[in-house]
Amino acid sequence: MDAIVVDELQKHYGRVRALEGVTFAVRAGEVFGLLGPNGAGKSTTVKVLATLTQPNAGRAEVAGHDVVRDPNAVRRAIGYVPQSSGVDRDATGRENLMLQGRVQGMGGRVLEARVDELLDLLGLAGAADRVVRGYSGGMKRRLDVGLGLVHRPQVLFLDEPTTGLDPRTRGQMWDTIRDLIRDGATVVLTTQYLDEADQLADRVAVIDRGRKVAQGTPDELKSQVGSSTLQLRMLDPEHTGEAADLVRRVLGEEPVLTPEAGGINVALTDANRAADVLIGLREHDLLISSATVQKPTLDEVFMALTGHAAEDVQPEPEMEPVR
């Protein structure tokens, strides 16, 4: 059963075409990632699905409700965590969650128990009665996620929940998100980070300039640019050409010579084939100074799928008010 259906969705801001016929479906209970750089159309897609803006064309349903014809039913079924924080900095963590629950029609012991449960899962129980102004950035972001989950929504939208956080705090947020979605909610996650999609998403749609250019599991997408990249640095740069010829014979792949003297990059469909290349180089007395195997980055995936770098995309337009 599909929790979300998006069919040929279009959204224009004047002459700017933020969405151009985006189509995908999200299964109930899965974590679905929208992957792409700033300006690709990810946030605009989520804003349409969360009824914060209306599409110019196309159709979208969330939890069985049309986002245009029945927006109130959609809003009752969803939780939404925007990029910008929605917490009240002058209230405590507990007060923020209690207020959000009351806005959603909850109250009494049911709400109190839910708030206690979330504070524990969020790792904020010890700071529950402290004013949020004194929270760290990571604590505030975890509280933002909690606000979207107080009422146990059927569908949760997380719009770039870890952008701006340091690597350690991002890892903590990933753990928090995993814990919070184990009760079976459907989650739509927008992200610029391939590793985040890798860690959290069951399936991913890659968005580029308002269009969906690819969809699949993170492994399926990465396989389109090789599961990993072998990076070689020759001890003697004059042997770079010979090494490249050997790579062609061993792997049947075309290596890329890097600007760095003696540098070679090779896309690998199987990381284990790196050993075949290294053995071949040794047998032919082609010595290396370094060899590393790396997973593809978002830029590499994006370049392979779209033909241009992620940073070439322009920021998404500001959202107009909902009427």
User: In this structure, are 141 and 281 located in the same domain?
Assistant: no
Neighbouring C-alpha atoms within 13 Å toward the C-beta of 15 = 0
User: Does residue 115 sit in the same domain as residue 93?
Assistant: yes
One-letter amino acid identity for 71? P
Give ∠ CA 107-112-118 in degrees, rounded to 5. 120
Q: Is residue 306 part of a domain?
A: no
Q: 3-state DSSP helix/strand/coil percent for the chain, to nearest 5?
A: 40, 25, 35
Say whether both 212 and 172 belong to one domain: yes
Is position 303 within any domain?
no
- Same domain as 192, residue 267: no
Write down the pTM of the prediction.
Answer: 0.78
Helices 93-103 + 137-149 axis angle, to 10: 20
Residues 287, 265: Cα–Cα separation, whole Å: 16
Q: Does residue 210 sit in the same domain as residue 163? A: yes
Query: What is the model's pLDDT at position 180?
Result: 73
Residues 201 and 269 in one domain: no
- In this structure, is residue 316 part of a structural domain? no
* Pairing of the two strands 78-81 and 155-159: parallel
Helices 93-103, 108-121: crossing angle, 10 deg rounding:
130
Q: 183 and 94, same structural domain?
A: yes
Question: Residues with Cβ < 8 Å from 62, sequence gap 6 or more?
Answer: 3, 4, 49, 74, 77, 78, 155
Terminal C-alpha separation, the chain: 31
Residues 144 and 232 grouped into a single domain: no
Which of 162, 188, 222 is the last residue before a domain boundary?
Answer: 222
Model pLDDT, residue 9:
97
Successive 10-residue mean pLDDT values, the chain, 323 residues:
96 94 96 90 96 97 98 96 92 98 96 96 95 95 94 94 85 83 86 85 93 89 75 92 93 78 82 91 94 76 70 56 48
Whether residue 65 is found in the same domain as residue 171: yes
Q: Are residues 201 and 235 in the same domain?
A: no
Q: 163, 194, 222 — which closes off a domain?
A: 222
Task: Please state, in angstroms and rounded to a whole number, the distance separating the CA atoms of residues 43 and 53.
Answer: 11
Query: Within a domain: residue 125?
Result: yes
Residue 61 lies in a domain: yes
Query: Do 153 and 254 sit in the same domain of this protein?
Result: no
Do residues 50 and 106 lie in contact, with contact meaning Cβ atoms separated by under 8 Å? no
pLDDT at 298: 59
The boundaries of the domain holding residue 283 are 228-294
Residue 216 is assigned to a structural domain of this protein? yes
Indicate whether 24 and 65 sit together in one domain. yes
We report the CATH number of the domain holding residue 25 as 3.40.50.300
Q: What CATH number should be reported for the domain holding residue 235?
A: 3.30.70.100
- Structural domain contains residue 181: yes
Domain count of the fold of the chain = 2
Q: Tell me which DSSP letter residue 131 carries.
A: B
Tell whether 321 is covered by a domain: no
pLDDT (0 to 100) of residue 309? 63
Which pLDDT belongs to residue 176?
A: 83
